[in-house]
Chains A and B, each alone.
Chain A
């Protein structure tokens, strides 16, 4: 299957700082990527849809000014958690679809675990 890579895999930061997480499609191009968040023992929750060359679409309850999404190329989307606080500690996961494939399956990154002290 297609490969989606996230970086960093884990990050620890101090409260009030900003953290950037990268999501790359390694062997395909993706016009759309999706960002999810997962708290311990819970399911994945969709945060936003990242569209190449345009503004992201955020789910209800997700602050767009806090979670900045940039999708500047067909292989890279970034999520920046601004002024992070301990409640932002979570597992962040991105997914993407190969725009050149006929199937609709989405492929997921390995996830990025954020811990805010």
Chain B
């Protein structure tokens, strides 16, 4: 079973920041938080991951709470092309373990 809880859906106005929350209260010390998204009928796309520090790349920012029990993915300026299902996944850092997908959050960016 997935170890994360996400809202089933969210809306965001185009051009505004999209803040997607994720709860992972049972995360263990060696587990990372990964975010992926899946646009309709495509394979999942890697967005970002982190252990305990906040992370930023060209796609998004990841804010992890100090107790690591929750995190927020931020898309700073959402566009219509960001409409997708976003998955928050916790996974050990060994690298050779699979990703276990939950139901994710369906983000709809509205013009």
Q: Give the interface of A toward B (CB within 8 A).
A: 1, 4, 6, 31-32, 34, 36, 43-46, 49, 91, 93, 95, 97, 103-111, 113
Listed by A's residue number, 11 A-B pairs whose Cβ atoms lie within 8 Å are A43-B103, A91-B41, A93-B43, A93-B44, A103-B95, A104-B91, A107-B46, A108-B44, A108-B46, A111-B42, A111-B43
Give bound CA distance, A47 to B41, whole Å. 18
Closest 10 A/B residue pairs (Cβ): A108-B43, A104-B95, A44-B101, A34-B98, A43-B101, A111-B43, A108-B44, A105-B46, A93-B43, A32-B96
Give bound CA distance, A36 to B99, whole Å. 10
Closest to B38 in A: A44
The answer to whether A95 touches B96, judged by C-beta atoms less than 8 angstroms apart, is no
Q: Give the interface of B toward A (CB within 8 A).
A: 32, 34, 36, 38, 41-46, 49, 87, 91, 93-96, 98-104
Give bound CA distance, A4 to B104, whole Å. 23
Give bound CA distance, A95 to B99, whole Å. 9
Q: Which residues from chain B contact A31 at a C-beta distance below 8 Å?
A: 96
Give bound CA distance, A43 to B38, whole Å. 10
Q: Which residues from chain A contact B36 at a C-beta distance below 8 Å?
A: 108
Shortest A100–chain B CB gap in Å is 11
Q: Which residues from chain A contact B46 at a C-beta distance below 8 Å?
A: 1, 105-108
